[in-house]
Amino acid sequence: MIMEKPVGKSIKAMFEKPFTLEYPEKRERLTDNYRGIHKLDMKTCISCGACARICPNQTITMVDTETEKGVKKMPLVNLERCLFCAFCEEVCPTKCLVLTKSYDYERYDRREYALRPEDLK
C-alpha cells in the first residue's frame, strides 16, 4: 500500500470542488423546530421573572431596564450559557420571549454574549 505524499494531497485538493457553504451569502435551510437567538417584546413583558426561574442553566437574569412606563425588571440572556431548550418561551404568560431562527453567534468579546433586553429585538 503506497501512501500519498502530503504535497500530492495538497495539489489534488486545489482542483476539487469546495464542499463548505459560502457564509453569509448562502444560508443553510433550517428545520421548523430550530431554536436560535431570543427575541423580546418589551411592551408586553410584565416582569414576572418566570423565564429566569425556570431556566435550568441560569442563563436568564432579571435586570432593571428603562421603559416608557418607567424602570422595569426585564430578562438579560447570556447566550454562552443557553441550552436553547425553550423552557423560557413555554413558561412566558404573555409570550413576549420567543426563540427565533437567527443563528449569528459570532462575537469578538465574550461580554457581548450577554444580551440586554434592548438587544433582544
Kindly report the CATH number assigned to the domain that includes residue 107: 3.30.70.3270
Indicate whether 115 belongs to any domain: yes
| Reported confidence tier of residue 13, pLDDT bands at 50, 70, 90 | confident
Indicate whether 22 belongs to any domain: no
Q: What is the rounded CA–CA span in Å between residue 85 and residue 65?
A: 25
Indicate whether 42 belongs to any domain: yes
Identify the domain containing residue 84 by its residue range.
29-119
| Reported confidence tier of residue 23, pLDDT bands at 50, 70, 90 | low
Q: What is the mean pLDDT of the chain?
A: 88
Res 85 pLDDT > 80: yes
Indicate whether 59 belongs to any domain: yes
- Give me the number of domains the chain comprises: 1
18 or 7, greater pLDDT: 7
| Reported confidence tier of residue 44, pLDDT bands at 50, 70, 90 | very high
Q: Within a 10 A sphere around the Cβ of 96, how many other Cβ atoms?
A: 20
- Residue 4: its pLDDT value, please? 62
Task: Say if CB 103 and CB 37 are below 8 A apart.
Answer: yes
Indicate whether 18 belongs to any domain: no
Task: Say if CB 40 and CB 52 are below 8 A apart.
Answer: no
| Reported confidence tier of residue 3, pLDDT bands at 50, 70, 90 | low
Indicate whether 46 belongs to any domain: yes
